[in-house]
């Protein structure tokens, strides 16, 4: 299972600093949606330039204009770009077209999708490289939130998948047991007093 750090920060300087601390422990470096909205795609270019050996994930969360939005993110240096599972099939297909022309990949994010298993299978058939089973920051803040539903949906979908939303040291083992290909950790790393140590512990927890 790969480890992805989600950098939900707001400036390129902060993102470069965090990536510099944790890169050695992660496989994929994600530029979070708030970072891309605040700093633009220049953030993607800066991180790719600093870490050319890492897989760079631009969390665009594209909902429309799939081919155009994916194309500009790939041109900026992204290796993976996210499109929302709630978008139209043509949006996902357009983004996949852009990915193919750059020899890169699309990740379809199921945030807010009710029937995650069906949509995951459809998105995979449309050409997504993997499907993100995702509980967003707002969903995690709801009383009684539990990762278990996401994990069983991921397991049942029978497609390559990542899990995002509250992944930390106490949940990463369950994420791996569910068969995830990628575990995404944001706050558990960037919110830690020592992000490098937090990333290292997550890496070590992956068997
Ligand atoms: O994409 C996101 C929010 O939409 C986050 O980056 C992702 O959910 C990771 O979250 P966490 O901080 O809980 O690990």
Task: Tell me which residues of the chain have a pLDDT lower than 50.
Answer: none
> CA-CA distance, 42 to 17, in Å (whole number)?
15
Among 166, 185, 187, 163, residue whose Cα is nearest residue 175: 163
Query: pTM of the entire structure?
Result: 0.97
Structure tokens given for 157 = 């979908």
How distant, in Å, are the alpha carbons of 18, 42, 54, 193 from that of 134? Answer: 22, 25, 22, 25
Adjacent-strand bridge partners of 56: 29
Q: What pLDDT score was predicted for residue 153?
A: 96
Q: Is 167 in the pocket of ligand 1 (CB under 6 A)?
A: yes
Residue pLDDT, tens place only, 31-48: 999 999 999 999 999 999
Q: Does residue 189 have its Cβ closer than 6 Å to ligand 1? A: no
Per-residue pLDDT tens over the stretch 109-150: 999 999 999 999 999 999 999 999 999 989 989 998 889 999
| CATH architecture classification, 2-205 | Alpha-Beta Barrel (3.20)
Atom of ligand 1 nearest to the CA of 185: 14
SS3 96: helix
The pLDDT score that the predictor gives to residue 152 is: 96
């Amino acid at each position: 299972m790969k480890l992805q750090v989600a950098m939900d920060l707001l400036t390129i300087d902060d993102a470069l600093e965090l990536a510099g601390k944790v890169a050695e422990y992660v496989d994929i470096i994600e530029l979070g949606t708030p970072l891309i909205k605040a700093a633009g795609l220049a953030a993607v270019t800066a991180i790719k330039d600093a870490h050319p050996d890492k897989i760079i994930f631009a969390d665009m969360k594209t909902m429309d204009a799939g081919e155009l939005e994916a194309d500009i993110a790939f041109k900026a240096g992204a290796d993976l770009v996210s499109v929302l599972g709630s978008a139209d099939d043509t949006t996902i297909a357009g983004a996949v077209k852009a990915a193919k022309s750059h020899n890169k990949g699309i990740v379809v994010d199921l945030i807010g999708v009710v029937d995650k298993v069906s949509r995951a299978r459809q998105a995979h058939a449309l050409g997504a490289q993997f499907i993100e089973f995702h509980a967003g920051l707002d969903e995690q803040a709801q009383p009684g939130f539990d990762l278990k539903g996401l994990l069983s949906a991921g397991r049942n979908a029978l497609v390559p998948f990542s899990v995002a939303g509250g992944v930390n040291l106490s949940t990463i083992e369950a994420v791996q047991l569910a068969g995830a290909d990628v575990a995404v950790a944001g706050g558990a790393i960037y919110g830690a007093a020592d992000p490098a140590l937090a990333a290292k512990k997550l890496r070590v927890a992956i068997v």
